[in-house]
């Protein structure tokens, strides 16, 4: 285990991020979002993301070090997201981290992005300790894990088709909202009635388990939008947004509580971009409090992609000593099974 400040780098998708984390304390966290760059395309263009990371990463690292009041030489190690994500984007972070670590003769820590989302709750001031059930909901993943050991979250359930964030983004698009859809949908939903429409959420006919299904909900929204027509949809946009948001986030909170009940833990945590959603945060907090569970809800900036969470997960990764990491690679996908430290 590394003691001392760790410089962490995250470039798995469309955020170029760097942070300095020392123990559970975030000394700095810098995120340069490329969202504006991808907005005209309605989604992330992998090649554009990778090229933009190249142009931005050094400045973001410099700023993270400066805000922490450190030089590279003062750090104890460099950490980086190695998987899963867009391969070109990941390679920029991994190559940068290797070069910095090599030049400064520091060890390197290779981190799984999803493990980063789980470990956001390890950071101060939440400083959660196991055992707890973790819900991670992002653009690519939706899963529940039992965390008894930070190094080895144990899978409890996951989406069988689309991720919750994907459902949010596709729904936002159907309602004519700009990319990125999550924050725009949340803003529009504030003026709407969440009981105005019912959108069925999948897994009908299956025993109540801990898996998720989001493929059907966006189709249900599509049918509603067609029924209402252009003028009708425009008139009911806020109600549609509020009802749709409810259909996506309610199952997340419900299944998190079900998982806590089944495992007998007394704490729950949420993470991933969708965990920045105000309605989900409210539902989880209320449900956990009603059951007397401790609840860890990281700051919004620690839910959406960032490097501080990578610095947190790095605490549980095995350091690769200088210079043994030069041949290590990035990977687009995570190995099957659970989240690996």
Ligand X SMILES: Nc1ncnc2c1ncn2[C@@H]1O[C@H](COP(=O)(O)OP(=O)(O)O)[C@@H](O)[C@H]1O
Residues at the interface with Mg ion (CB under 5 A): 138, 305
Of 15, 155, 171, whose CA–CA distance to 85 is shortest? 15
Q: How far is CA 105 from CA 55, 97, 150, 326, in A?
A: 24, 12, 28, 12
* Residues 35, 214: Cα–Cα separation, whole Å: 24
* Residues 10, 313: Cα–Cα separation, whole Å: 12
- Asked whether the beta carbons of 214 and 161 are under 8 A apart, the reply is yes
Least Cβ distance, residue 159 to ligand X (angstroms):
12
Pick one of Mg ion, ligand X, none as the site partner of residue 277 (Cβ within 5 to 8 A by kind): ligand X
Burial of 106 (0-12, 13-18, 19+ CB in 10 A): buried
Pick one of ligand X, Mg ion, none as the site partner of residue 5 (Cβ within 5 to 8 A by kind): none
**Quick one: how many helices (H) and strands (E) in the chain?**
11, 10
User: Which residue in the shown chain puts its C-beta closest to ligand X?
Assistant: 273
User: Which residue in the shown chain puts its C-beta closest to Mg ion?
Assistant: 138
Judged by CB, which is closer to ligand X: 133, or 274? Answer: 274
Judged by CB, which is closer to ligand X: 5, or 183? Answer: 183
Pick one of ligand X, Mg ion, none as the site partner of residue 274 (Cβ within 5 to 8 A by kind): ligand X
- Beta pairing, strands 25-33 & 15-22: antiparallel
Q: In which element (H, E) is residue 114 found? A: helix 113-119
* Residues 318, 310: Cα–Cα separation, whole Å: 13
Least Cβ distance, residue 273 to Mg ion (angstroms):
6
Least Cβ distance, residue 322 to ligand X (angstroms):
29
Least Cβ distance, residue 140 to ligand X (angstroms):
5
* Residues 65, 176: Cα–Cα separation, whole Å: 40
Least Cβ distance, residue 10 to Mg ion (angstroms):
9
Pick one of ligand X, Mg ion, none as the site partner of residue 142 (Cβ within 5 to 8 A by kind): none
DSSP secondary structure string for all residues of 22-40: ETTEEEEEEEEE-HHHHGG
Least Cβ distance, residue 180 to ligand X (angstroms):
5
Query: Which residues make up the interface to ligand X (CB under 6 A)?
Result: 13, 138-140, 165, 168-169, 180-183, 186, 272-274, 276-277, 304-305
Least Cβ distance, residue 95 to Mg ion (angstroms):
20
């Amino acid at each position: 285990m590394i003691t001392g400040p760790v410089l962490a780098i995250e470039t798995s998708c469309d955020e170029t991020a760097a942070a300095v984390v020392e123990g559970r304390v975030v000394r700095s966290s810098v995120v340069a979002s490329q969202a504006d760059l991808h907005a005209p395309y309605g989604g992330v263009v992998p090649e554009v993301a990778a090229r933009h990371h190249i142009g931005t990463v050094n400045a973001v690292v410099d700023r993270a070090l400066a805000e922490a009041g450190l030089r590279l030489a003062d750090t104890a190690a460099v950490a980086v997201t190695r998987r899963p994500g867009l391969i070109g984007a990941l390679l920029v972070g991994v190559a940068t981290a290797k070069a910095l670590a090599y030049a400064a003769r520091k060890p390197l820590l290779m981190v799984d992005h999803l493990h980063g989302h789980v470990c956001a709750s390890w950071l101060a001031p939440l400083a959660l300790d196991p055992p707890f059930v973790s819900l991670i909901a992002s653009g690519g993943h939706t899963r529940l894990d039992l965390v008894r050991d930070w190094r080895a979250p144990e899978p409890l359930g996951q989406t069988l088709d689309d991720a919750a964030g994907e459902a949010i983004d596709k729904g936002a698009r159907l309602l004519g909202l700009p990319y990125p859809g999550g924050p725009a949908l949340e803003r529009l939903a504030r003026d709407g009635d969440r009981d105005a429409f019912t959108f069925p959420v999948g897994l009908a006919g299956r025993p109540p388990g801990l898996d998720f299904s989001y493929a059907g909900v966006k189709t249900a929204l599509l049918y509603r939008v067609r029924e209402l027509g252009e003028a009708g949809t425009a008139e009911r946009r806020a109600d549609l947004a509020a009802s749709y948001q409810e259909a996506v986030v309610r199952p997340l909170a419900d299944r998190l509580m079900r998982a806590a009940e089944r495992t007998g833990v007394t704490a729950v945590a949420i993470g991933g971009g969708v965990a920045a959603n105000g309605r989900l945060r409210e539902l989880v907090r209320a449900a956990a409090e009603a059951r007397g569970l401790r609840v860890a809800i990281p700051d919004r900036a620690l839910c959406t992609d960032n490097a501080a969470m990578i610095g947190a997960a790095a605490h549980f990764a095995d350091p690769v000593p200088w210079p043994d990491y030069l041949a290590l690679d990035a990977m687009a996908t995570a190995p099957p099974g659970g989240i690996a430290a």
